Amino acid sequence: MTDLTSQPTSAPAGLPRRAFLRVAGASAASVGLVLAGCDSTDPLPVVPVNPNLLTLGAGETGLLNYLYLLEQLEAAFYQKVVDAPPADLLPADKAFFADLRDHEVVHRESIRFALAANAYDANRTTPLAFNFSTLTLTTARGCWPRRSSSKTWAWRPTPERCAW
Amino acid sequence: MDLLKIFSEIEKIDGEVYERFDTRRRVFRHMAGLGKTITAATMPVMLGAMFNKAYGQTTGLSADIKNTLNLALQLEYLEYYYYDAGLKTPGLIPTADVPAVTIMRDDELGHINALKSVLGADAFPDPTVAAFDYTASNRLAPFAAAAGYYATAQSLEDTGVRAYKGGAPKLMANKDILTAALNIHSVEARHSAHIRMVRRTLAGSTNGGDIAGGANNQNPKSWVSLRENGGPVPAVTAPIYGPGTTTDFPGEDNVTQATVNVQNTTTYPTVPGVTLTDALKAAAVAEAFDEPLDDLTVKAIVRNFRSAIGVGKGLFV
């Protein structure tokens, strides 16, 4: 195995591990993942037989597929809110979600373009579906991040909610 | 605020700067962890410890490094005195937002103290508020009303964000420094988003902002949109959103990323009741990517804010 400690400028060894943990957490609601990007020196993995396993690939492809998956998740979330906005969502907030959806779609499509045939879902007939059923998206409060404490948020008021 | 730029400038002068830092990786692990919650209290300690460990003692700094750090110090003074002057102008800043502006001012003070601790006796002397002309030769009115105050604040923050991004490629040789700098970089962008929200609130906006900030950039989105119609006062602020000195630094309305026109790669969602025009697509694509700015252009922008006294003291040369 390569001695990474003697090569401080080589590929960041810690990132894939974090990436793995975060992707694994994000996927818990719907799918299991095989993440082969944990070590760039690993050989390309065998395509899994289980249709519920995703292969992100190794090295740069693996990282891009990881980012692609995250962008898909973000775009899907904002699209869900835009498709069925809560009744109490303010007009400005709706505009925010539409803009954010647009941005994430652009990011998603840009990364997919870069990946081309290497996209993890290039051969899937239907795109991956995300499960947001654990979230309360029928109220504006459910769509925006919760305020953990008033002090924390005092200098970062929720958009368009200033009292003045 | 220009920490990333500091590193890139030092790299030009001291090619071994990363090796110096790399042998003290623990310092940067600490710094990376702090990135999301850097405060006025932690910043000076962090930066001071970092440079002291890297160079042993401040007297070991070369003249060129001192000059580089002193330029950054002058930028911090520019920002600190801007926020401080706003807080000292009765009734200017809405009461609800005084805590936010106070935090931003204290952040700048933390940066000043950090740089001073590194430079010691060689630090550029405190130029005082008299060295700065925040009206940019009577072209801006930052202290007459809140709208003008936040307009200039947005200009300063947006300049800083682009300056950080412009230096990022030069930091890629050291991932610890890059990570730390990008952590700070994103915090600056959040400051700008906050200021933009305040500007909309002051304008009575209820639509979340217009493309390019609408007429006279009075209704900005929380993110940079096209060239922001030249910003609040185009005569002064247009360069903040325009291109840099080379093609590596396109304007903020750029839609080409990695040599590809992103408009052509993107499948746009259908928007009920909205006809998606090419102009809307261009705006969405431009907003989805921010652009870096080179240090020459950054310096040209901030020279607008020198008073005659500041010129005499050699600010931003």
Min mean pLDDT across A155-164, B10-19, B88-97 is at A155-164
How many angstroms separate the Cα of A2 from the Cα of each of A18, A42, B28? 19, 11, 23
Q: How confident is the model at residue B78 (pLDDT cuts 50, 70, 90)?
A: confident
| Mean pLDDT computed over A17-44 | 41
Residue B61: predicted pLDDT = 60
Residue A142: predicted pLDDT = 82
Helix/strand/coil for B260: strand
Q: Is it the case that residue B36 has pLDDT exceeding 50? A: no
Which of B7, B85, B50 is closest to B305 using CA atoms?
B85
Helix/strand/coil for A120: coil
> Per-residue pLDDT tens for B135-191?
999 999 999 999 999 999 999 889 888 877 877 776 565 565 466 567 667 777 888
Nearest CA to CA, how far is A42 from chain B (Å)?
A: 22
Q: Residues in chain B whose beta carbon is closer than 8 A to a beta carbon of chain A?
A: 18, 22, 25, 94-97, 99-100, 103, 173-175, 190, 194, 197-198, 200-201, 205-209, 221-223, 257-258, 260, 262, 265-269, 271, 284-285, 287-289
Residue B28, CA atoms < 13 Å, CB-side half-sphere: 21
Residue spans of the domains in chain A: they are 12-124
- The answer to whether the CB atoms of A95 and B207 lie below 8 A apart is yes
Residue spans of the domains in chain B: they are 3-141+169-208+294-312
Residue B53 or residue A72, greater confidence = A72
Q: Is it the case that residue B316 has pLDDT exceeding 80? A: yes
Q: Is it the case that residue B246 has pLDDT exceeding 50? A: yes
How many angstroms separate the Cα of B135 from the Cα of each of A21, A93, B261? 50, 34, 39
Q: Residues in chain A whose beta carbon is closer than 8 A to a beta carbon of chain B?
A: 8-9, 12, 79, 82, 90-96, 98-99, 101-103, 105-107, 109-110, 112-114, 154-157, 159-160, 162-164
Residue B52: predicted pLDDT = 52
Q: Is it the case that residue B3 has pLDDT exceeding 60? A: no
Q: Mean pLDDT for chain B?
A: 81
**B261 to chain A: nearest residue by CA?**
A110
Residue B35 or residue B98, greater confidence = B98
**Mutation target among B198, B201, B221, B276 for the A interface, most CBs of A within 10 A:** B201
CB B168 within 8 A of CB B295: no
- The answer to whether the CB atoms of B22 and A113 lie below 8 A apart is no
Residue A42: predicted pLDDT = 56
Quote helix, strand, coil % in chain B, to nearest 5.
Answer: 65, 5, 35
- The answer to whether the CB atoms of A8 and B266 lie below 8 A apart is no
**Set of chain A residues whose Cβ sits within 8 Å of the Cβ of B197:** 157, 159-160, 162
Across B18-22, B111-115, B280-284, the highest mean pLDDT is recorded for: B280-284
Residue B255 or residue B14, greater confidence = B255
Residue B160: predicted pLDDT = 80
CB B166 within 8 A of CB B295: yes
- The answer to whether the CB atoms of B175 and A157 lie below 8 A apart is no
Tell me the two tokens of residue B117.
Answer: 């601790």
Tell me the two tokens of residue B138.
Answer: 């009577």
Strand B256-257 versus strand B260-261 pairing type = antiparallel
Nearest CA to CA, how far is A51 from chain B (Å)?
A: 26
DSSP B4-69: HHHHHHHHHH-TTHHHHHHTTHHHHHHHHHHGGG--TTHHHHHHHHHHHHHHSSGGGS-HHHHHHH
Cα–Cα distance for residue pair B213/B82, rounded to 1 Å: 23
Contacting residues for A45 by C-beta, under 8 A, at least 6 apart: A34, A36, A55, A57, A58
Nearest CB to B268 within list A95, A105, A156: A105
- The answer to whether the CB atoms of A96 and B222 lie below 8 A apart is yes
